[in-house]
Structures are given as C-alpha cells and as structure tokens.
Amino acid sequence: MRYSLLDLLASPDTGAPFVLVGATEAEVPFIGPYGKPGSRVSRPGVAVGPALEGESGAFYTSFLARHETAPDDPERSRQTIVIDGLLVATDTGMWYPIVDTIPELLPPSLRDWQSHHDFLDQVIAPRIPAELVVALRQAVAGVDASGRRGDNHKTSEIGLLDKVEDKANFLAPGLLSPFNPNIYNHPADLIRGFGNCLPFLQLQHGHRVLDSGCGYGWTTEWLMNLGIDAVGIDISRVYPDVGRRRMGPNNQPHLVVGDSENLPFRAGVFDAVLCFDAFHHIPDRPAAMRRYERALKDPGRIVLLEPGGQHETDEVSVNVMDTYGIMEVGMELADVQGYIDGIETFGPARQIFLTPHLSDDPRTSVPISELRDRSYIGWGMFLIEKDAAATVQARSLASVAQAQSATQPTNGLGRLLGRVLKR
C-alpha cells in the first residue's frame, strides 16, 4: 500500500478516517506515470501514524492521540510501500489488517477473524504499546459478525481456490491478463470492451477512478498507465495477488480487498467508477449503487460493461454457479434503472451502442433490435451520471410539463420539454 491511499480510505461501516498503526515499510520507488503524494506519511518505525487533520473520534481521543506522530515528507509516499500494519478507525477502533501490501477491508461477516486476531497478536502487538493492543482487542470483542443476505455468494468468491484442484493452471491467465497467447477472441473482446469504456468515463490526466471488481487488476493497471489515479477493489485477494506478480512492485496501482456493497472509501473522492464484467456478481446491486454514489464526486459517472439479460442461463454461467457458488446475473437497461431508482443525484440509466449507420437507414432512428445486432461492443454497456444540479432541474421541468399536460393539450412548450427530458 502506498501512503497516498490512506487519504482515500474510510471505515466501511461508519465512514470515519483511519490511522495507520504498527506499520512496516520498504523502499520501493514508484515508477508509474502519476503519483499524488500522501498527506499522512508515517515516520519509519513509529507505532502510530498521523491522523487526518481536523478529524477525531472517541477511539482516537482515548488511545491513538497519546501515541500519534507528526507526518513525514509527503514525497516519501512515492519511494516507500507499506508492507503490513493496521488501519484503525478513529471513532470505534475497528481495525483492518494490511497484509503483504494489500489492505483487507471486508465487513465483519466476511472476515477471517482467527487469522486477523493472530495477525494482531503475532505481527502487530510487538510493535505497539501494550495498552493499545488491549484497546484494539476490546474494540472488536462485541462486533456482530453474523451472516448477511448474499454472503454465501461472497464467501464462495473469497474461498474460490478451495474448490479448484489445479490452482496453478487456473490462475495462470492472470499472469498475462488480458492477453492469452492460446486464445484470440476472448482477450480481443476484453481489450475492445475496455477501449469502448474510455470515452464514456470522460477522464483527464490525474483523475481518480474506482475499478470495482478489478480481478487480476489489468484494467486498473492500464488506467494507471494512462495517467489516471486508479484504485482497484475486489472481494477476493486471490486475483489481485496474481495481478501483483504480473505488474511487479514498482508499478502497481492501489489495490484493496473489499466489498462493493460496503465500500471503504471517503465520500466524494472519485471522478468515475468502472465496473468491468463484474457488477453481475454482486448480490445486492442497489446497495452497491448507493455506495458508488457516495464515493463519487459531483458530477461523476459510472460505466458498467456487463453480459446480456440471458447471461445466467448460459451453459458456462450455470456451470460456474453450480461448481463455485458465484452469483451470475444478466441485466438489461430496465434492470440497471431499477438498481438506481430512488438515488436522487443520479440521472436516468442509459445503454450505449456503437454501431455503423448504413446508407439506407432511416435518418431518425434505428430499431433497438438492429442496434443490438450491429453493436461493436458485444456487451451491455451502461452509463449512469451523477449530477445533482442537472437532476433537480430535470425533475423541475418534468413537474412543469406534467402540470401543463394535465390542464391543456400539448403545445410547443410541452413538446420542447419532452425533448429536453429525453436527452
């Protein structure tokens, strides 16, 4: 983990900022094309790093403030990587481990509590004051770790390798992802799909993107290589671990283990969210959309690239569900709209088609069935825009149009408002 990631992370249950505790680090210069310095770089070997300026909480005041240290040179965040440590929420003291450079920020019902307690006792405890160790144990003593709806699918993803016999061959594609020298069509489709997403993300150099369900992390890596401050999150660390081996230590984007229904990020830090062939694995998709909305700046946008509505009935999908227990759900535009209904800052969901316009086409419109058949994308591409001001204006115009249509026949103004609302 680079120290700059600390400026983005927050407790997934309360949204409180974290303080880095008991960290070890290594000198690993970052050679990527971007690199925003971290504002809270710990001094080497300290027990408790600096807190976010102006932020505090009950646990911080009671335990962390006594041991907190001043921040080091922000530029050191480009030269140093955090190997392990704890991220401790300033309000409740809920803590999460950083294991082999990747923070694990899963909700209580999905955590491996035995390994996390062992990590605290064996790795972190020798580095920090004894009173803080006791406080950290107490902070999680009464946590509700009971299962939640959809956890069966999530735990299947987290423990995927337990059901795989030939693990090396199963994971081997990730070492070259998205390429596969033995197969042309699938890698070519992935690359084409990624390229199709870029114009609709509307990115500029230095923008920040959340890559939700990043898998092997190649989409996160490519965004980073384009000069984007990219953060990849996946519910299982199986895939990001393979991706790290492919990328090498000096040129890795931010990678986090976490749940898209319980995003561990501060509000309003991302310019866009990309969910590339991953949203259909999420059990509670409306909950994930609400978390995306919170994490996005205003304005911001979400691009989904997903299989079609019949995806869960495909033979391959049925086999995956039966064998591994992973959720496979197809979706169409109406489904995506249903996931965002009630989110006030979102405009209507849109489906994107990239098609040729033939010389004998009607100049007004092409039937949806023909758009699907001709589309170059080969996937369902959906765009959702967060723009609170524009959404309020559109609703106001809609109210005016509705009131007028109720009292008089549609006139020129009504037709104009109708065209505005359809855009």
Query: Per residue of the chain (423 residues), what is the pLDDT tens digit?
Result: 999 999 999 999 999 999 999 999 999 998 876 667 899 999 999 999 999 888 889 999 999 999 999 999 998 998 999 999 999 999 999 999 999 999 999 999 999 999 999 999 999 999 999 999 999 999 999 899 999 999 999 999 999 999 999 999 999 999 999 999 899 999 999 999 999 999 999 999 999 999 999 999 999 999 999 999 999 999 999 999 999 999 998 889 999 999 999 999 999 999 999 999 999 999 999 999 999 999 999 999 999 999 887 888 888 888 888 888 888 899 999 999 999 999 999 999 999 988 777 777 766 677 777 777 777 777 899 999 999 887 767 666 666 666 666 655 545 444 433 443 344
Distance CA 201, CA 71 (A): 34
Q: Where are the domains of the chain?
A: 3-147, 167-386
Q: What is the pLDDT of residue 399?
A: 64
Q: How many CA atoms lie within 13 A of 216 on its CB side?
A: 17
Across 373-406, b (16+ Cβ under 10 Å) vs e yields eebebebbbbbbbbbeeebeebeeeeeebeeeee
Q: What is the pLDDT of residue 311?
A: 83
- Domain spanning 167-386: which CATH class is it, in words? alpha beta
Q: What is the pLDDT of residue 333?
A: 95
Q: What is the pLDDT of residue 400?
A: 60
SS3 readout for the chain: CCHHHHHCECCCCCCCCEEEEEEEEEECCCCCCCCCCCCCCCCCCCCECCCCCCCCCHHHHHHHCCCECCCCCHHHHHCEEEEEEEEEECCCCCEEEEECCEEEECCHHHCCHHHHHHHHHHHHHHHCCHHHHHHHHHHCCCCCCCCCCCHHHHHHHHCHHHHCCCHHHHHHHHHCCCCCCCCCHHHHHHHHHHHHHHHHHCCCCCCEEEEECCCCCHHHHHHHHCCCEEEEEECCCHHHHHHHHHHCCCCCCEEEEECHHHCCECCCCEEEEEEECCHHHCCCHHHHHHHHHHHEEEEEEEEEEECCCCHHHCHHHHHHHHHHCCCCCCCCHHHHHHHHCCCCCECCCEEECCCCCCCCCCCCCCCHHHHHHHCCCCCEEEEEEECHHHHHHHHHHHHHHHHHHHHCCCCHHHHHHHHHHHC
Torsion of CA 410, 411, 413, 418, to 10 degrees: 30
Q: What is the pLDDT of residue 363?
A: 64
Q: What is the pLDDT of residue 417?
A: 37
pTM: 0.90
